[in-house]
Amino acid sequence: GAVVSQHPSWVICKSGTSVKIECRSLDFQATTMFWYRQFPKQSLMLMATSNEGSKATYEQGVEKDKFLINHASLTLSTLTVTSAHPEDSSFYICSARDMGQGNYEQYFGPGTRLTVT
Protein backbone atom coordinates (compact mmCIF):
# COMPACT_ATOMS: atom_id res chain seq x y z
CA GLY A 1 0.00 0.00 0.00
CA ALA A 2 0.87 3.66 -0.20
CA VAL A 3 3.39 4.90 2.32
CA VAL A 4 3.87 8.36 3.79
CA SER A 5 7.01 9.07 5.77
CA GLN A 6 7.89 11.88 8.13
CA HIS A 7 11.26 13.10 9.25
CA PRO A 8 12.27 13.46 11.96
CA SER A 9 10.11 11.19 14.07
CA TRP A 10 10.91 13.28 17.09
CA VAL A 11 12.78 16.52 17.71
CA ILE A 12 13.71 18.63 20.70
CA CYS A 13 14.55 22.27 20.11
CA LYS A 14 15.16 25.34 22.19
CA SER A 15 12.66 28.13 22.48
CA GLY A 16 13.15 30.74 19.76
CA THR A 17 14.64 28.41 17.18
CA SER A 18 12.95 27.07 14.06
CA VAL A 19 12.42 23.45 13.18
CA LYS A 20 11.51 21.83 9.87
CA ILE A 21 9.46 18.66 9.49
CA GLU A 22 9.40 16.77 6.20
CA CYS A 23 6.54 14.73 4.81
CA ARG A 24 7.13 12.46 1.82
CA SER A 25 4.90 10.24 -0.25
CA LEU A 26 7.15 7.30 -1.05
CA ASP A 27 5.37 5.46 -3.83
CA PHE A 28 2.80 7.86 -5.21
CA GLN A 29 2.47 11.46 -6.24
CA ALA A 30 0.55 13.80 -3.99
CA THR A 31 -0.60 17.12 -5.34
CA THR A 32 -2.32 17.71 -2.02
CA MET A 33 -0.93 17.16 1.46
CA PHE A 34 -2.37 18.01 4.83
CA TRP A 35 -0.83 18.94 8.16
CA TYR A 36 -2.53 18.02 11.42
CA ARG A 37 -1.64 18.80 15.00
CA GLN A 38 -2.50 16.64 17.97
CA PHE A 39 -2.25 17.70 21.60
CA PRO A 40 -1.94 15.01 24.28
CA LYS A 41 -5.10 12.96 24.63
CA GLN A 42 -6.87 15.09 22.06
CA SER A 43 -8.01 14.78 18.48
CA LEU A 44 -6.21 15.69 15.29
CA MET A 45 -6.82 19.28 14.30
CA LEU A 46 -6.32 20.18 10.65
CA MET A 47 -3.82 23.01 10.39
CA ALA A 48 -3.50 23.51 6.67
CA THR A 49 -3.92 22.06 3.22
CA SER A 50 -0.82 22.12 1.06
CA ASN A 51 -1.10 22.10 -2.72
CA GLU A 52 1.94 21.48 -4.89
CA GLY A 53 3.17 24.64 -6.53
CA SER A 54 0.82 27.00 -4.73
CA LYS A 55 0.31 28.58 -1.35
CA ALA A 56 -1.08 26.53 1.48
CA THR A 57 -4.58 27.09 2.76
CA TYR A 58 -4.63 27.52 6.51
CA GLU A 59 -7.51 26.70 8.82
CA GLN A 60 -9.00 29.42 10.93
CA GLY A 61 -6.85 30.29 13.91
CA VAL A 62 -3.61 28.86 12.52
CA GLU A 63 -0.82 31.42 12.15
CA LYS A 64 0.56 31.11 8.64
CA ASP A 65 3.68 33.12 9.49
CA LYS A 66 4.47 30.79 12.34
CA PHE A 67 3.77 27.52 10.56
CA LEU A 68 5.38 27.82 7.15
CA ILE A 69 4.36 25.17 4.65
CA ASN A 70 6.16 24.46 1.41
CA HIS A 71 5.03 21.89 -1.13
CA ALA A 72 7.70 22.18 -3.79
CA SER A 73 7.35 18.77 -5.38
CA LEU A 74 4.75 16.07 -5.87
CA THR A 75 6.31 13.93 -3.16
CA LEU A 76 7.47 16.40 -0.53
CA SER A 77 5.86 18.91 1.77
CA THR A 78 7.60 20.63 4.65
CA LEU A 79 6.28 22.30 7.77
CA THR A 80 8.58 24.80 9.47
CA VAL A 81 7.70 25.92 12.96
CA THR A 82 9.33 29.33 13.26
CA SER A 83 10.46 30.88 16.54
CA ALA A 84 9.19 27.88 18.41
CA HIS A 85 7.79 28.21 21.92
CA PRO A 86 6.90 25.55 24.49
CA GLU A 87 3.23 25.83 23.57
CA ASP A 88 4.14 24.62 20.06
CA SER A 89 5.12 21.29 21.56
CA SER A 90 2.82 18.77 19.98
CA PHE A 91 2.49 15.73 17.74
CA TYR A 92 2.41 16.78 14.09
CA ILE A 93 0.96 14.37 11.54
CA CYS A 94 0.98 14.83 7.80
CA SER A 95 -1.25 13.21 5.26
CA ALA A 96 -0.92 12.86 1.49
CA ARG A 97 -3.61 12.38 -1.10
CA ASP A 98 -2.99 9.99 -3.97
CA MET A 99 -4.30 11.59 -7.14
CA GLY A 100 -3.19 8.82 -9.49
CA GLN A 101 -5.79 7.47 -11.90
CA GLY A 102 -8.56 9.36 -10.19
CA ASN A 103 -7.73 7.80 -6.85
CA TYR A 104 -8.34 10.24 -4.07
CA GLU A 105 -7.27 8.06 -1.20
CA GLN A 106 -5.52 9.79 1.67
CA TYR A 107 -2.70 8.27 3.65
CA PHE A 108 -1.18 9.34 6.95
CA GLY A 109 2.40 9.60 8.09
CA PRO A 110 3.66 8.21 11.42
CA GLY A 111 3.87 11.64 13.03
CA THR A 112 6.60 13.87 14.44
CA ARG A 113 6.76 14.69 18.11
CA LEU A 114 8.09 18.19 18.71
CA THR A 115 9.23 19.24 22.16
CA VAL A 116 10.26 22.86 22.67
CA THR A 117 12.28 23.54 25.81
β-strands 76-81, 19-25: how paired?
antiparallel
CB 83, min distance to another protein, A: 26
Whose Cβ is closer to another protein: residue 84's or residue 94's? 94
User: Distance (Å, rounded) from C-alpha 5 to C-alpha 48?
Assistant: 18
Whose Cβ is closer to another protein: residue 75's or residue 111's? 111
CB 35, min distance to another protein, A: 11
Contact by Cβ (8 Å): 8, 112: yes
Amino acid at 10: W
Task: Tell me the helices (H) and strands (E) count for the chain, helix number first.
Answer: 0, 11
Phi and psi torsions of 54, nearest 5°: -140, 175
> Interface residues with another protein (CB under 8 A)?
34, 36, 42-46, 49, 93, 95, 97, 102, 104, 106-111, 113
Whose Cβ is closer to another protein: residue 44's or residue 82's? 44
CB 29, min distance to another protein, A: 16
**Residue 48, CB half-sphere, CA atoms under 13 Å: how many?**
24
Whose Cβ is closer to another protein: residue 7's or residue 108's? 108
CB 49, min distance to another protein, A: 6
